[in-house]
């Protein structure tokens, strides 16, 4: 009987210990990390050509030190984040739709990766530009202009299809 009481007391103390959350220490996420997360999330949105940065970002880019966090300003108080995103939008894109999607993607990325709460995200459209053609697109245009494409036979010959159709039904 005493053994049973000891076992129950041990189980009771184990369950009480399990209920107590153990603290290991503080986890702090640097502002630069939040900026990188926000910048990468914004660049995934279709219609965003590139991030727009400050003058110092332009100088760093010129020197070959491109910042991954370019075009994002983050501030936070405790675990609440506020964010400003500066972008160049692709010409022809619907700016309000792209901006809304940027807000959604950045909010989701920050909250999922850091556990912080996003208070607001302001999107600043700094410009509109045409997307540069890729090397493959430029090569295809050059081939087309040079007339190097062979004329392909039609995939569907209407006269031949009509003849087959007529032959099929005449056999019955």
For the stretch 88-139, pLDDT in tens is 999 999 999 999 999 999 999 999 999 999 999 999 999 999 988 888 888 8
Residues facing 126 on adjacent strands: none
Distance CA 78, CA 39 (A): 21
pTM over 0.75: no
Q: Are 72 and 41 in contact (CB under 8 A)?
A: no
Domains in the chain, CATH or no CATH each: 25-132 (3.30.70.1350), 137-171 (no CATH)
Residue 42: both structure tokens together = 């914004």
Residue 5 phi/psi, 5° resolution?
-65, -40
What is the longest distance spanned by two Cα atoms in the chain?
A: 100
Residues 2-16 pLDDT 10s: 555 555 555 544 444
């Amino acid at each position: 009987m005493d053994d049973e009481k000891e076992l129950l007391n041990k189980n009771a103390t184990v369950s009480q210990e399990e209920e107590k959350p153990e603290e290991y220490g503080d986890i702090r996420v640097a502002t630069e990390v939040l900026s990188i997360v926000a910048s990468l999330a914004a660049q995934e949105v279709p219609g965003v050509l590139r991030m727009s940065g400050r003058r110092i970002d332009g100088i760093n880019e010129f020197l070959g030190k491109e910042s991954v966090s370019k075009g994002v300003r983050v501030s936070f108080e405790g675990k609440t984040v506020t964010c400003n995103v500066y972008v160049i939008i692709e010409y022809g894109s619907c700016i309000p739709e792209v901006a809304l999607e940027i807000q959604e993607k950045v909010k989701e990325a920050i909250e999922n990766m850091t556990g912080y709460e996003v208070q607001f995200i302001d999107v600043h459209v700094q410009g509109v530009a045409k997307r540069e053609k890729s090397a493959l697109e430029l090569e295809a245009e050059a081939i087309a202009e040079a007339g190097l494409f062979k004329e392909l036979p039609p995939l569907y010959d209407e006269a031949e299809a009509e003849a087959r159709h007529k032959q099929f039904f005449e056999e019955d």
